[in-house]
């Protein structure tokens, strides 16, 4: 019973997050609203986990998601100056199927007393290396 209620809460939260109402006013001079806004993101090994508790750490995230797949990397985003958790983190799985299982297995579930949300992150494939500067001139000691 309690679990069913939790699922309803989760659905309500996720529905409200979109902020899109089906009762849109259709007018000729109004911008045509999209038929539907799929919260689905493109599959990736990077997962964006939100709704985390302030006490949840990267280790808690890894252990929580490691039950559904091989977690390559897990990190909870914390503030630079306060050092406190921002309430969300990122989990990277070994494969896309593990990532999907992680979402299906942890999205809308309870972690540390809070309902967490797991979805595909927009993040970049890996640590962004600094772009190499363009070569100014040829070999030094000789230029025309």
Partner DNA sequence: GCTGAGCGG
List of residues contacting DNA (CB under 7 A): 17, 19, 41, 46, 48, 50-54, 73, 75, 77, 79-80, 82, 84, 86-90, 92, 114, 117, 119-124, 126-128
Contact 52, 74 (CB under 8 A): no
18's tokens: 């979109």
**CB of 51 or CB of 68, closer to DNA:** 51
Contact 56, 111 (CB under 8 A): yes
**CB of 124 or CB of 142, closer to DNA:** 124
* Residue 104 C-beta: closest distance to DNA, Å: 16
**CB of 68 or CB of 115, closer to DNA:** 115
Farthest-apart Cα atoms in the chain, separation: 82
Q: Given the structure tokens 């979109």, which residue do they identify?
A: 18
* Residue 122 C-beta: closest distance to DNA, Å: 4
**CB of 21 or CB of 136, closer to DNA:** 21
Provide the 10 A C-beta neighbour count for residue 143. Answer: 8
């Amino acid at each position: 019973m309690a679990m069913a209620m939790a699922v309803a809460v989760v659905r309500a939260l996720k529905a409200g997050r979109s902020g899109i109402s089906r009762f849109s006013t259709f007018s000729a001079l109004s911008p045509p609203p999209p038929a539907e806004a799929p919260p689905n993101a493109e599959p990736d090994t990077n997962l964006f986990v939100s709704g985390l508790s302030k006490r949840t750490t990267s280790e808690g995230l890894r252990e929580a998601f490691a039950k559904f797949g091989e977690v390559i990397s897990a990190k909870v985003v914390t503030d630079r100056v306060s050092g406190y958790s921002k309430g969300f983190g990122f989990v990277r799985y070994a494969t896309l199927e593990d990532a999907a299982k992680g979402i299906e297995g942890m999205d809308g579930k309870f972690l540390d007393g809070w309902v967490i949300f797991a979805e595909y992150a927009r993040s970049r494939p890996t640590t962004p290396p600094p772009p190499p500067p363009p070569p100014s001139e040829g070999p030094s000691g000789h230029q025309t």
